[in-house]
Structure formats: C-alpha cells, structure tokens
Amino acid sequence: MVNMMNNLDAKITEQFPGLVVRKDLAKVVKGNAIVPSYVLEYLLGQYCATSDEASIRSGIDAVKEILRKHYVLRSEAGLIRSTIREQGRHRVIDKITVDLNDKRDVYEAEFSNLGINKVLVDADTVKRHPKLLVGGVWCIVDMEYQYSEEKANSPWLINSIKPIQLSAFDLQAYVQARQRFSLSEWIDLLIQSIGFNPELFGERSKLLQLVRLIPYCERNYNLIELGPKGTGKSHIYSEFSPHGILVSGGEVTVPKLFVNNSTGRLGLVGYWDSVAFDEFAGKKKRVDRALVDIMKNYMANKSFSRGVETLGAEASMAFVGNTQHTLPYMLRHTDLFDDLPEQYHDSAFLDRLHFYIPGWEIDIIRGEMFSNGYGFVIDYLAEVLRNFRNYDFSQQYTPYFSLLSDISTRDRDGIQKTFSGLYKILFPHAEATKEEVELILRFAIEGRKRVKDQLLRLDNTYASVQFGYVDIATQQTRLVKTLEEEQYPQHFSHTIGVPASEIETEATQSTLEQALPVLTALKEGHFAFQENQRGVSFDTLLGPYLKGAHKIVITDPYIRLFFQIRNLMELLETIARQKADDEEIEVHLVTAQDGYNSDGQSENLTKVQENVTPVGIKFTWEYVDPQTIHARHITSDLRWKILLDRGLDIFQRYEMNDAFAIGNRIQRYRACKAFEITYLRQTEA
C-alpha cells in the first residue's frame, strides 16, 4: 500500500491540505460494502487527508472500524436492528428516503439497507435536506428504539441525522490554488480526482472524461454518450457527486421526473443538479410519448407544466447507453442515434442535445487505469462544481474568436454551454491563453457538430451548416470536423446507405487521400493524425515506403522500455511481411542507452535480433549520445526519409498482455496518439 509520491502529488497535497485523498484508499476500505465512492471519501477525508504514511494507515483502520460498526449490510440488517433495541441507541450509515404520509400529516423515513420504514422525521430536517424526498440521501444517523403499545407508532426514532456532505467550503481558496498549476497539471489532478491514472490517457481522452462533469457545473445542460459496454459511462453519475442521481431509463415516469399532478410534489428535476438516465439505449424499450414531449419542452425551455402552472428547474440531463454496432457500420448503414428507443429517435428531441460524447473512443475500463495518486475528495470537488453553476463563462472566447454566422441559435447555444462548462472546470480563475481557449472551443464545436450531422441524416428539413470559427486577429476561418468524419470520409455523408465516395466533392476526396496517404502512389508530404484515430498501422503507414529496401536505418533515442522495443519488433514484422523469402535485409537501430536498466534493454534487443535472423532480417544496433539525435526518422537505400515526431510510439496503451485482445493482434484496431509524419525523397549523394 506504500505510495511513492511524485512531484504532482506533492504539489496537490501542498496546495489543497485536508481536501485531497489517495484515490486507491477507497478500494482498500470498501470491502463488500455497496456504498458510493463519495461516502467512502467523505470518511477518508476526515481521517486520511494527509501524505504521512503512518497517519494514512491509522486513518484507514479508523474508517474500516466505522464501517464495520455503523455501515448497514443488508445481510446483517437483523443484527443491527437487534443492537439498536438492546442498546437503546446506535449510529448507522444508510441511504434514507423520506415520504409524506398525508393521512397522518407526518414525514416518514425508509432505510434502504436496515429494512425499516415509517420512521418519523421532523419537518425541519426535511426542509433543510429536501433531497431526502426524492431518490434518497446517504446519511449518518443516530437511531433509538422505544417500544410503544400504540400500533400506529413505530418504535424506531431518529435522534439526529446528518447527510454525508462537506461541512465547510472556500471557493476563493480553490480558485487561487488553481493558479499555481499549469493546465496539464490541473487536468491530471482532475483525472486523478475522478479515479483514473492520467498517464494512460491522451489529451483528447482526458477532455472526454471531463465533459462528463459538465452537467454538475452547468445549468440545464443536455449530454448524451453512446458507446460500447464497459467504458464507465454511468460511473460518474452514480458514484461521483451527492448532487446527482442516476436512474434507469426504463424506470422514468412523468411524476417521478417532473411533477405529480395529484399530490403536487416536484420530481427529480426540481431537486438534483444532474439527472442521468442509465441504459438509455434499446430499440425495443417502451417509452411514454407524453414523457418525451415534456422532456423536449424542458430541455429547450427549462420549464414544464403542472396543470395550469408552469414551473422552472435547472437540472442538467445526461443520457448514457450502449451501442450494438461499430462506428463505421453506423456511419454507413444507420446513424449514431440508431440504438435509441423509437420515441427518442426523434429529431426534435435530439436537437436539444448540446454534446455527443463519442463513447467508441473511450477505452473499456481496465484495472491498470485506476489511479493511486492524490485527487480531490469527491464531495469537495462536487461542491466546487455546484457553486460554479452560478457563473457564466460562455463568452470567454469572444475576445479571440467568433463563431461562423450561419451557425444556428440552437447550435450556438450547445457550443457555448459546453465551452462554458469546460472553461469552469479547467480555468476557474478565468485566465486562459488564446491557444487554450481555442482548444476547448474546437472541442465544444465538434461535440455539437456530431449531433447536427446525424440530424441532417434523420430529417432533410435541417439546413446544412458549416461548423467553424473566425480568428478575430487574422480574420482566418477555421472549420471543425468530427474525428469520425476525418477517419471514415468514405462513409461520411448525410444520406444513409450511400457511400460518401459516390456523392462528395473533390475536397472530401482529397481528405480521404490524406487520411490514408500510403494507399495511393508514394509521394512526399506531411500528414497529421488525431488522438483516438483508428485504422492506422505500420503496414499502411511505413510498409510501402520500405518495400524493396535492403538497408534500413531507424534513428530513435527512445527504444529503451519494453513497449518501445515491442513497437520496434512490430515494425520488423511489417518489413518481414514485405520481403521475399529469399531476400536478406539489413536493419540498423541508432538509439540511446537506458540509464536505469541498460542490461534489460540490451537483453530485449538481443532477443529481437535472435528472432528476426531466421526470416532474413539482419538486425543490429548501436548506442549514441541522445544529444546527437535531432529528430526521429527512418531512412533506406530507396532514398526515402520518413520523419516521425513520436517515433514508433504512435499507439495508446492497449491490452498488451491479453492474447485475445484484438488490438493486441491487429494494429489498425488500436487508438492512436496524436502524431505527425513526413515523407521526404532524398536526392542521390
């Protein structure tokens, strides 16, 4: 359990004393308790918000003891009830839901795990904590037992009730501390706060994770995420904040979500900052059409009707669900909303969505992805985000950029709300450079464009729009494309079932050629690939330029670690596939020696050498001073020089040790890092 603190962790604990916790500790103490992370971290924040290992160990013991004594396991509910009866008083940690008994004019509580109900709650407690009435709240409760002969009276009494939440909060201190972090450091802190290891995510993937937080800090924000199973879509809404609630899409009704006209009681949108709908996809699901119509009105106008009265609310909505088909299949044959129930597969409803998170870009959660670094106690960050709902940063881009004039009001609203939410999360101090502003503006535009592109497929009454912006200083227009548009231009059209190659312009055709440059005639050129792009392999990227070569030199100072040497081996496999059996090829590596494990580096390179020799590849290497290597590149006796800004390290982390993982076997199914490649034809000496 010992954790070696890195520079970022040291900075985090220094700038936010008492407000951060080691993110692996919740797993250590959780055991078989089915309790949200924010409940555990609330307790850990009381006892383990320190970097001192001895204090952490004693704090963990204290939290474990609290959970052992007071957390109610459903299987032991009878024992806890007996303890309360025999001792007269006992403290419990449980989820409590309160209901109004209008026949007796009293509020009554139901304990989720303890298995008791009709426990009286005083009206003042309900007024202070109205969320007890909808969805329930995790609380620390002092319970008493007093038996009464009156059958109508419950023997269970609440002596005190304390919702698990932050007791003190200083937003200004948070903002001031943010100024001491670079943007990359701050993003990594937020990713660690969510519970993930930032080293395993690229910049784009980190932003996709942070977009999931926008419903907590932006009022009336409508977000959808559809993608494969197991990518953690619902985690952020079920475990992250006491101000959000996750409900099953099939369990939603008009009274539960908006208002019960017979009782006048408000539904979830009246009490929660974020209402997320799990398992939202499913074509065969039956949905109340009246619910869809009310949701349309609420998502557009922030209001709903209760009889003759119109009510307003500010809850954001997040819709998450699983897709059944691959991305290229959906682009070619259906649309990206195809898996939604028929009643929601409606252009008027979908047009209310501000951002579409491309769930197919997010990796399936693996054990190695979780962080053991320091992050905010979840309840603290949740309170920060909630406070920022009172701020509006939607115009922070206007000193530098203006959106194109043909972007509609609804599109503009979606872009600006996403921009505002990301700005709050990344720049709470309201200070960002032009380049940083442009980064999140482009990201916000792309997320709304993904929605609009599908609307154009579903409803031909929508006018086609160019998504982009103008740099005010240079008056340069910059268009924005979604990643799938750049990755699969042959499928990207607004007519379902018609390949783009049959109907699109020469400009789009050239984009296809740029996306897969080596499938056409070999030529000089410079090409950029985006993070999370797929379909790239050494076979298509490098193979054609090396085919027929007899001498190849690879210059890269970073062929040291195991995964880097594995990349080298995969390049040699590409060379082996290109050569004839009776050919012999010399491949020489120029690299730098690993200062920490040079023996392991040489041992692995020797294994590579031994394994490629039988197939006719004579592999050699030499170590040089890394300062003498000015660029990573590959040259051959065919006079091609290939410049790679990342060398061979172009793929994101994947299941390298899983023999059955398709990304392990075939490169083109892996997600890429952002990288650039340049092909140069050298003149003869």
Q: What is the pLDDT of residue 651?
A: 94
pTM above 0.95, yes or no: no
Instruction: Please give the backbone phi and psi of residue 671, each rounded to the nearest 5 degrees, phi first.
Output: -80, 140
Q: Which of 136, 137, 156, 154 is nearest to 145 (CA)?
A: 156
Of the ranges 7-21, 209-223, 387-401, 492-506, which one carries the lowest mean pLDDT score?
Answer: 492-506
- For the chain, domain boundaries: 74-163, 182-380, 391-514, 517-681
Q: What is the pLDDT of residue 508?
A: 37
pLDDT in tens, 16-32: 988 888 888 887 887 76
Yes or no: say if 522 and 638 are a contact pair by the CB < 8 Å rule: no
Report long-range pairs for 303-312 (Cβ below 8 Å, ≥24 apart).
304/258, 304/259, 304/269, 306/258, 306/259, 306/261, 306/264, 307/261, 311/259, 311/266, 311/270
Position 307 confidence tier, pLDDT thresholds 50, 70, 90: low
Q: How many helices (H) and strands (E) does the chain have?
A: 26, 24
Between 551 and 65, where is the model more confident? 551
**Which whole number is the average pLDDT over 305-319?**
86
Q: Which of 369, 363, 341 is nearest to 227 (CA)?
A: 363
**Hey, what CATH class is 517-681 in?**
alpha beta
Q: What's the CATH architecture for 74-163?
A: Beta Barrel (2.40)
**Which whole number is the average pLDDT over 149-176?**
83
247: left (phi over 0), alpha (psi -120 to 50) or beta: beta
pLDDT at residue 620 is higher than 90: yes
Distance of alpha carbon 7 from alpha carbon 619, whole angstroms: 39
Residues linked to residue 618 through DSSP beta bridges, in sequence order: 586
Of the ranges 387-391, 520-524, 582-586, 645-649, which one carries the lowest mean pLDDT score?
Answer: 520-524
Hey, what amino acid is at 439?
Answer: L
- The reply to whether 74-163 and 517-681 are identical in fold is no
Residues linked to residue 640 through DSSP beta bridges, in sequence order: 681
Between 489 and 227, where is the model more confident? 227
Position 250 confidence tier, pLDDT thresholds 50, 70, 90: low
Q: What is the pLDDT of residue 654?
A: 83
How far apart, in Å, are the Cα atoms of 41 and each of 21, 22, 25, 305? 8, 9, 8, 39
Distance of alpha carbon 468 from alpha carbon 406, whole angstroms: 10
Between 11 and 516, where is the model more confident? 11
Position 634 confidence tier, pLDDT thresholds 50, 70, 90: very high
pLDDT at residue 147 is higher than 70: yes
pLDDT in tens, 499-514: 555 544 433 333 334 4
Between 306 and 484, where is the model more confident? 484
Q: Is 27 helix (H, G, I), strand (E, B) or coil?
A: helix
CA-angle at 232, arms to 231 and 236, nearest 5°? 150
pLDDT in tens, 389-407: 999 999 999 999 999 998 9
Distance of alpha carbon 193 from alpha carbon 118, whole angstroms: 38
The CATH code of the domain at 182-380 is 3.40.50.300
Position 496 confidence tier, pLDDT thresholds 50, 70, 90: low
430: left (phi over 0), alpha (psi -120 to 50) or beta: left
Residue partners of 495: CB distance under 8 A and separation at least 6: 457, 503
pLDDT in tens, 424-478: 999 999 999 999 999 999 999 999 999 999 999 998 888 889 999 999 999 999 9
Residues in the chain, how many?
A: 685
pLDDT at residue 516 is higher than 70: no
Yes or no: say if 216 and 243 are a contact pair by the CB < 8 Å rule: yes
pLDDT at residue 494 is higher than 90: no
The single-letter DSSP state of residue 579 is S
**Which whole number is the average pLDDT over 110-135?**
89
Beta strands in 609-681 (DSSP E): 617-623, 633-636, 640-644, 675-681
Q: What is the pLDDT of residue 17?
A: 86
**Which whole number is the average pLDDT over 520-535?**
88
pLDDT at residue 173 is higher than 50: yes
pLDDT at residue 533 is higher than 70: yes
**Which whole number is the average pLDDT over 219-232?**
94
Helix, strand, coil percent values for the chain (each to nearest 5):
40, 20, 40
Q: Which of 90, 95, 89, 91 is nearest to 74 (CA)?
A: 95
Where do we find the tokens 């936010």? Answer: 16
Q: What is the pLDDT of residue 519?
A: 46
Q: What percent of the chain has pLDDT over 90?
A: 62
Integer-rounded Cα radius of gyration of the chain: 29
Q: What is the pLDDT of residue 562?
A: 93
Position 311 confidence tier, pLDDT thresholds 50, 70, 90: confident
Instruction: Please give the backbone phi and psi of residue 137, each rounded to the nearest 5 degrees, phi first.
Output: -135, 140
How far apart, in Å, are the Cα atoms of 306 and each of 9, 251, 260, 267, 564? 50, 21, 8, 11, 62
**Which whole number is the average pLDDT over 173-202?**
95
Q: Average per-residue pLDDT in the chain?
A: 89
pLDDT at residue 597 is higher than 80: yes
**DSSP calls for 297-316:** HHHHHSEEEETTEEEE---E
Distance of alpha carbon 643 from alpha carbon 674, whole angstroms: 15
